């Protein structure tokens, strides 16, 4: 059906309106009859890692003092003439988005779109000791201080 101007001239209709309605109908149908899911998992492995106290000084702190403060390490590494105690906490974030259209009855195919993202962060402290059991060096990194959403999708 054509729209007519007052002087009898036919008015051209815009076909993009039909395309917009088709797309909107598709998305409404997807939400109603399709499958849209968002899943976010948060997994923590290990105990909280605190920053080393100010009293811990290289050459003065003993192995026993570190063990009393932090407990059993996640890993013990043997090095040439030294050994290291490694304490680590891992935080894992996994995001999964899935969109599916169940058209198996009509098209014998079911279009589906999936995407997944994973973010690992580590809180770590490493104490390096001499063979005599005195602290030689220590390293601390708190990777969980960075904001989640700022780094999740990068």
- Residue 20: which residues within 8 A CB-CB, separation 6 or more? none
Identify the band that residue 37 occupies on the pLDDT scale cut at 50, 70 and 90.
confident
Q: How many CB atoms lie within 10 A of CB 99?
A: 16
pLDDT tens sequence across 100-148: 766 655 566 666 777 888 878 888 999 999 999 999 999 998 876 665 5
Q: Which comes out higher in pLDDT, residue 29 or 154?
A: 29
Question: What is the percentage of the chain residues whose pLDDT exceeds 70?
Answer: 70
For the cut 60, the answer to whether the pLDDT of residue 151 exceeds it is no
What DSSP letter does each residue of 46-67 carry, written as one string? S---PPPPTT--TTT-BHHHHH
Extents of the domains making up the chain: 14-152
Q: What is the pLDDT of residue 47?
A: 83
In whole numbers, what is the pLDDT of the chain averaged over residues?
A: 78
Q: Which comes out higher in pLDDT, residue 57 or 116?
A: 57
Q: Which comes out higher in pLDDT, residue 20 or 85?
A: 85
Kindly report which listed range (23-37, 51-65, 66-80, 116-130) carries the lowest average pLDDT score.
23-37
């Amino acid at each position: 059906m054509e729209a007519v101007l007052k002087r009898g001239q036919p008015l051209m209709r815009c076909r993009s309106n039909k395309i917009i309605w088709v797309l909107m109908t598709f998305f409404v149908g997807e939400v109603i009859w399709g499958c849209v899911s968002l899943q976010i998992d948060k997994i923590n492995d290990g105990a909280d890692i605190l920053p080393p106290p100010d009293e811990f000084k290289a050459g003065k702190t003993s192995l026993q003092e570190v063990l009393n403060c932090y407990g059993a390490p996640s890993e013990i590494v043997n090095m040439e003439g030294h050994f290291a105690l490694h304490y680590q906490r891992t935080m894992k974030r996994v995001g999964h988005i899935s969109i599916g259209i169940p058209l198996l009855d009509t098209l014998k195919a079911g279009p589906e779109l999936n995407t997944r993202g994973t973010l690992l962060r580590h809180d770590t402290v490493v104490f390096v000791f001499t063979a005599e059991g005195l602290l030689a060096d220590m390293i601390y990194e708190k990777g969980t201080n960075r904001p989640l959403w700022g780094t999740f999708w990068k």
